[in-house]
Amino acid sequence: MSRLDIKSPSRAQTVVDNLYRDVERRIAASPPGLCPVDMSLAFLQLCHAQSCGKCVPCRIGLGQLSKLIATVLDGTADMSAIAIIEKTARTIVNTADCAIGRDAARLVLDGLDGFRDDYEEHIIHHRCLAGLQLPVPCVALCPAGVDVPGYMALVGEGRCADAVRLIRKDNPFPTACAYICEHPCEARCRRNMIDDAINIRGLKRYAVDHAGDVPQPACAPPTGKKVAIIGGGPSGLSCAYYLALMGHKVTVFEERAKLGGMLRYGIPSYRLPREVLDAEIASMLSIGIDVHVNVDVGNDVTFDELRPVSAKLRFHEQTITDLETEKQELRGQVEDMQSQVEDTQGQLDNSLAQVRRLAYLGKKDLDPKDYENFLIGYARLSAKELEICCALARGLSTRQCAEQLGCAVSTIDTYRKRIYDKTKIHKVRQLQLCYALMRMQQAEQEI
């Protein structure tokens, strides 16, 4: 025990450790569009600062490599500098004694392979290709390019309806994305520099849950042009939506009985409830989009019959030909997707049969007063309570609900008690009967 020596870090070491954490957060929050040459120099200088200085390639070579890249950035280098940088970096990789020097030089070599044109642009035109535009990270990483800071500010002001309108400018499915979006925008959120990314998808979900019924914007004056869209999936509906807003007359042809494509047949209902999807699609169609379902274009409807519907049929025919060629190349993937759609359709059919059976039992066994209390309480459930109520009504156990919804069993128990308190239903069987009866009555009203 006399040799035991517990060293406490000095104040300087504590500050350096904090700097490491700050640098890590900044790297995580780096937006796309930064100058790759400048970033390579910054990483190289960081690696040089970590060098122990015992070997010449690491101690001297990394310093010389930093000076060479600096001449590229300040515009004093010529084209021969690229060859010198590559030769110097390769020498360090081959002769350095440890991974600090080797990995630092390898970063430079990888950069020369990956963005040599940026080096050349700095030398010839004294500018950076990637730095011509520096977008906001969350907007740049959003596949739809939605104005994320804009709608977050509106949510912060309590203007949820305006937030939904702003999202619809770039994404016609704000509700669906609020439920299932993979939120790549959060990966480079600048809030990472402080603690953690903002829950962007959660704010979008809050907006759509509290916005109520947000009317669609008015369409532009009619242009007299007609467009036929084959396929009522997410891309087809998006195309139809924005073309209709531009004033064109749009008709959608869908092979299956309902619109939605992979949103309906590829995503389970516990992640995206079908009633939520149906309401969003109905809102999109309300701007004047015509729909024909159960139509197999090419068999039920010929291309000649589509010519009066679409002035751009020739373009669509070429597109279909290209897609057929791609389908032949990716036949295995297409068949797998078709199998998944058929399996989902079978599950939907089985689920519908079960709902009908439970609704029949509900009419016989339920006390009308209990069913009335359920309807009143169901209308008061929050979004999370609705999600768990639907899962329980489908016969899932508490553990299965927790696994599918990604939360703890205790959380499901807490929400289940709230659901029982609001609906005045205290047995799962009663909950299933009430829910099935409600669903069937809603379906009969729609018909």
Cross-strand pairs, 291? 252
Q: Tell me the pTM.
A: 0.59
- How much is the pLDDT for 373? 74
Distance of alpha carbon 265 from alpha carbon 23, whole angstroms: 44
Which residue, chain included where needed, has tokens 């299965």? 400
- Angstrom distance (rounded) from CA 115 to CA 333: 33
Largest CA distance in the chain: 95
pLDDT tens, position by position, 385-433: 777 877 777 777 778 878 777 778 888 888 888 888 888 777 777 777 7
* Phi and psi torsions of 301, nearest 5°: -130, 130
Q: What is the 3-state secondary structure (H, E, C) of the chain?
A: CCCCCCCCCCHHHHHHHHHHHHHHHHHHCCCCCCCHHHHHHHHHHHHHHCCCCCCHHHHHHHHHHHHHHHHHHHCCCCCHHHHHHHHHHHHHHHHCCCHHHHHHHHHHHHHHHHCHHHHHHHHHHCCCCHHHCCCCHHHHHCCCCCCHHHHHHHHHCCCHHHHHHHHHCCCCCHHHHHHHCCCHHHHHCHHHHCCCCCCHHHHHHHHHHHCCCCCCCCCCCCCCCEEEEECCCHHHHHHHHHHHHCCCEEEEECCCCCCCCHHHHCCCCCCCCHHHHHHHHHHHHCCCCEEECCCCECCCECHHHHCCCCCCHHHHHHHHHHHHHHHHHCHHHHHHHHHHHHHHHHHHHHHHHHHHHHHHHHHHHCCHHHHHHHHHHHCCCCHHHHHHHHHHHCCCCHHHHHHHHCCCHHHHHHHHHHHHHHHCCCCHHHHHHHHHHHHHHHHHHHC
Amino acid at 152: M
- pLDDT of res. 445: 47
| pLDDT of 409 | 81
**pLDDT, position 203:** 92
Distance CA 180, CA 174 (A): 10
Q: What is the pLDDT of residues 247-263, one digit of tens each?
A: 999 999 998 888 998 88
Q: Which residues of the chain have pLDDT under 70?
A: 1-6, 28-29, 31-33, 130-135, 307-367, 437-447
Q: In angstroms, rounded to a whole number, what is the distance separating the alpha carbons of residues 124 and 41?
A: 19
Closest CA to 43 of 120, 121, 100: 100
Rounded to 5 degrees, φ, ψ at 254 are -120, 135
CA distance 243 to 350: 37
Nearest one of 47, 78, 75, 39 to 63, comparing CA atoms: 47
How far is C-alpha 211 from the geometric centre of its chain's CA atoms? 21
User: Cα–chain-centroid distance for residue 87?
Assistant: 43
Q: What is the pLDDT of residue 329?
A: 56
| End-to-end Cα distance, the chain | 84
Residue 143, both tokens = 């596949």
Cβ atoms of 31 and 135 within 8 Å: the answer is yes
The whole-number pLDDT of residue 176 equals 93
Distance CA 337, CA 334 (A): 5
